């Protein structure tokens, strides 16, 4: 299994993709631990199907017996937005329960800041 790469994106980035490749094509599941908000692991899928409670934040791409699976994060957040209990910044894990194979990667979300010092703008 080739796990997700560590990614750094700006806050508000849309449709960030996290990929996982497997040599044994079958069903792949996703879980994540957010950096902010709910502290427990969130299991995003079961048997490759996204839990409906995560439909507003994520999508999965990959068919049964596929070798590459993609998790799409609709909006990169540092802290939980209104109505949610988790940020999308965190540790993402892809796994195949039946083989005990898993791999993890970080999604780090940063905020672009502007500083003004002595009348000069610094980005």
User: Would you say 55 and 71 are in contact if contact means Cβ atoms under 8 Å apart?
Assistant: no
User: Would you say 106 and 97 are in contact if contact means Cβ atoms under 8 Å apart?
Assistant: no
Torsion (CA) 71, 13, 5, 97 in degrees, nearest 10: -20
pLDDT of amino acid 117: 73
**What domains can you pick out in the chain, each with its CATH number?**
7-122 (2.60.40.10)
Please report, in tens digits, the pLDDT of each residue of the chain (123 residues total): 888 999 999 999 999 999 998 887 778 899 999 998 776 789 999 988 999 999 999 999 976 667 889 999 999 999 988 888 899 999 999 998 888 889 999 999 999 877 677 777 666
| pTM over 0.85, yes/no | yes
């Amino acid at each position: 299994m080739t796990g997700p790469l560590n990614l750094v994106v700006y806050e508000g980035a849309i449709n960030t993709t996290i990929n996982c490749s497997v040599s044994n094509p079958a069903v792949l599941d996703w879980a994540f631990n957010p950096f902010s908000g709910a502290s427990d692991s969130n299991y995003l899928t079961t048997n490759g199907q996204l839990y409906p409670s995560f439909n507003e934040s994520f999508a999965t791409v990959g068919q049964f017996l596929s070798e590459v699976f993609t998790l799409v994060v609709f909006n990169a957040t540092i802290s939980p937005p209104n109505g949610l209990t988790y940020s999308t910044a965190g540790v993402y894990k892809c796994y195949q329960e039946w083989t005990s194979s898993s791999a993890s990667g970080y999604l780090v979300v940063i905020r672009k800041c502007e500083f003004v010092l002595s009348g000069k703008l610094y980005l």
